[in-house]
Structure 1
C-alpha cells in the first residue's frame, strides 16, 4: 500500500481524490491527509460540484478537521506551512499547491516526515523531472521530483516513441490548450500582455513550458524541438499538433501501426473515429493519438496529432509516478 498526502486541493488535488475514490480505488493507494489554506467548506463544495467533471457521484460532507466522502473520513488540515502536519509514514507527498517556492519550501514536506515529494508541475528546484513513458527509468533515489507539465507528459513519450523508430532530426509542436487559472476571466493587467486578456473570449498565442522541459526529459533531443501554445476558449481537453523531420523515411501506415500498438500502455490512447475535444474528457492516458490525422508531406515531414485531458491525464500520471517512487 502506497501512503500519500496531498498539499494543495486545487484542480489537480481534487482530481486525484476523485480517482482514488472511483477509477483507481483498487490501485493500492492510501490517502492519509489533505492540506489547503482555503476554507474547508469551500474545498468540500468544489470537490462535490465540479464545472468540468460534473458532480461527484456520491455523498460529500465536512466536519471540523475532515472531509467525509461516502462515509470515509479524510483528515483535512488548513495550514500555510506543511511542516505543521505530521507526515510520518507517508511515502510520497503530492505537492499540488502550484506555488513557485525555492528548494527550502519544497523540502518542508520531507521535514514533516514524508519519504519523497512529487511536484505537480515544472520545477527548477527538483532533483529531476520525470515523465512516464519517456525517462522514468532514470528515477533512481531522487526524493524531490517534478512531474513536469501536462503538455510535456503528452509530448515527451510521443517524441521518445518516434525517435526510437525513425530518429527525430528536428520538429515543431503546437499545443492548442484550454484556458487555465493563470488567465483572467475579464481583461486584467498582467506582465504577459496576451495572457492579460479574457480567457474565454479569444485564442491566445503564448509559450509552453514543454519547450524547455523536453531537453531535461529527453537530453538527446535538447535543442531539436520548438514548441508553442495557443490558449483557446475551451474549459478542458487540449491537443498536440507535432511535425517532425525524421532521419529514416516514415510512412503513414507504419507510423499508425506503432502508435496503435503503443496504446497497450497507460500512456498512449488510440482513436480513429472523427472525435472532438469534449469526447476525450476524463481520458486517463497522457495522450490519445488520432490515427486519421497522421500524414507525411512530399518532403518527408511527419505530422501526428493527439488529444490529452490536461487535468485528468496529468493527475493519473501523478499517481503512477508516486507509485514508482514508493516502490523503490
Structure 2
C-alpha cells in the first residue's frame, strides 16, 4: 500500500511539472499568434497547472480515457514551431485524429511527422510569420451593469496581442463624486463571479481604468448621439449597448450618430427588423451592411443550440419551455411598486411567475420552429444560473440512452460544441455552473425520453455564459472570431442514430 501511495504521488508530481511547462507555450501561442487552445471546449489560457490537469481529466467524456499530458505537450511544442495564424484549436481532438491517422500517440511520434500532420490540419491559417499583423477592432461598452462588467472581464482576458477585440471605453451616467472608484471596485470584486484576475489601476485625472494593461476610457454621458469617440482615438468602433433602454432601430440608431461608431450590438432581444443573433446558429447571417444587431437573450441563447441539434436529428413537432430563472436587477429586494405584473414582490423571498419571450424568439434564429414553441418563466431567489425545461414532441421516437449519447457527442464534436455542454452527475446543483462559458449545459441524468415525448433539462449561467455568447457575436461582427480546428462536424453525421423500435 505504501508503494502504491508513493507511486501515485510521484506520478502526480511528474504530470504537474509537465503542466507547468505548458503554461508559457499556451501563453506564447495566444499572445504572439492569436491561437486559443482548448481541450473539448475547456480553454487552456490563463489556467493553473492543476486546472490544466483537470481539463485533461475531463477528456474522459470523449472516450473514457484521460488525455495524456505528454501528448498535449508535444502538440503545443509542434504548434510553436509551425506558428499558425489566429485560430481556436482543440488539442484533444488533434491528438485523437493524429493517433487515428498514424496509429501512434503524439508523445511517441517523430517530430517531423507530427509537424507535417499539423500543417495539413491547419493549412487555412498558416501564415507568413513576417507578414503584417492584423489591427484590432475597437469596442465600447455602453452601460456597465452585470453584463457590461462581465463583458469587460472577458474582453480584457481576450486581448492577447491586440489583433482581435480591444476594449477602449465604457459609457455611463455619473452616479456620485467618487463614481470612477466605485466602477473600478465593481469590476474588481463580484459577489457571484469572484475577484478580477489581475490588477486594476484608476487615473482620476484622465478618467481611465487600467486593467491588466488594457487602458479603458470612462466617458460620462446620457446621450448616445453626442459622444465623440474619435476624441479618445477610438474609430470604427462596435458599441455594445447593455443598458436595455433602447431595443428598436430608432433608439439604438442614436449610437450611429456619434463620431467613431461603425456598428451597434444590443445585449437583449431586438424589436422590429433587427436580427437576433445566437452564435453557433445564425451568426453566418451577419452581413457587412448590418449596422444594428441583437445578441438575443440569455434564455434564447441557452435553449436554441440544443433545440437546433434535436430538430436536425429528430424533428420538433411542438414544445413548451419553462425557465426557472435567477432574479434580475429589475426586480425589487422587498415589496414595492413595479410596472410589471408580480415583479414588484420581493425577489429574494418569492418565486415569481412571469412572462418570457425566449420561446418565440427562438424562431428568429431557427425559422423552422416558428409557432411550434410556447414558454413561461419562474423567477427564483438565486443570484445567478438558471434552468430551462424543454418539454418536446418529436417526429422520430427515441429513448434516454440514445438521446443522451447524441447530445453528449454534440457537445464534444459538433459545430455546436462551443454552445452546448453535457454533464451526468447525481450531485450537481445550480452553483456548479457559475462561470460556465457554454450557452447551455444538458443535464443528462434528468433527461426523460419515451418515444416521441421528451423532457430536457438545460442549465445556463445567465450572466457569464450569455456574455461569452455576446463576445462571440462581437467577434463575428468584427471578422475576428478565430477559425475552429479541427473542423466542426455537422450536428448529425449522416443520421447514424437508428430509430428506436
**Residues of 2 paired with 1:2 and 1:250: CA distance?**
46
Deviations along 1:68-116, whole A, 9 cap, x unmatched? 2245421111111233131552342111112135423312222223221
Q: Is the 8 A contact 1:9 1:96 kept in 2?
A: yes
1:278 match = 431
Residues 263-288 of structure 1 show CA distances to partners (whole Å, capped at 9, x for unaligned) of 13210111112310000000000001
C-alpha RMSD of the superposition: 1.8
Summarize deviations over 1:209-255 as a string: whole Å, max 9, x none: 20321222222111110111111010110011101000111222221
Matched, 1:237 2:237: no
Q: For residues 101-140 of structure 1, what are the structure 2 equivalents within 5 Å?
A: 102-112=248-258, 113-125=260-272, 127-140=274-287
Structure 2 spans left out of the alignment, 5+ residues: 1-135, 481-501
* Gaps in structure 1 of 5+ consecutive residues: none
Matched residue, 2:166: 30
Relative to its length, the structure with more helix (as a share) is 2
Q: Give the secondary structure class of the aligned counterpart of 1:273.
A: coil
String of CA shifts for 1:126-177, please: whole Å, max 9, x gaps. 6311111222222223110010000000111111111100000000111110
**CA distance in 2 between partners of 1:303 and 1:85 (Å):** 51
- Which residue of structure 2 aligns with residue 46 of structure 1? 186
* Residues 249 and 274, structure 2, Cα contact 8 Å, conserved in 1: no
TM-score, structure 1 normalization: 0.94
- How far apart, CA to CA, are the structure 1 residues paired with 2:304 and 2:454? 16
1:200–1:81 distance in 2 versus 1, CA, 3 Å: same
| CA shift for structure 1 position 37 | 1.0
Residue 75 (1) aligns with residue 210 (2): no
The 1-side partners of 2:371 and 2:335 are apart by 35
Judging by fraction of residues, say which structure has more strand. Answer: 1
User: Are the equivalent residues in 2 in contact too, given 1:259–1:270 (CA < 8 A)?
Assistant: yes
**Equivalent-residue separation in structure 2 for 1:126 and 1:168 (angstroms):** 26
How many residue pairs match? The answer is 326
- The Cα offsets for residues 169-196 of structure 1, whole Å up to 9 and x where unpaired, read as 0001111100001110000112323111
Instruction: Give the TM-score, by structure 2 length.
Output: 0.62
Change (3 A) 1:46 1:126: farther
- Of 191, 202, 208, 1:62 maps to 202
Q: State the alpha-carbon separation in 1 of the partners of residues 273 and 208 from structure 2.
A: 30
Secondary structure in structure 2 of the residue aligned to 1:292: helix
Q: Answer yes or no: is the 8 Å Cα contact 1:126–1:144 preserved in 2.
A: no
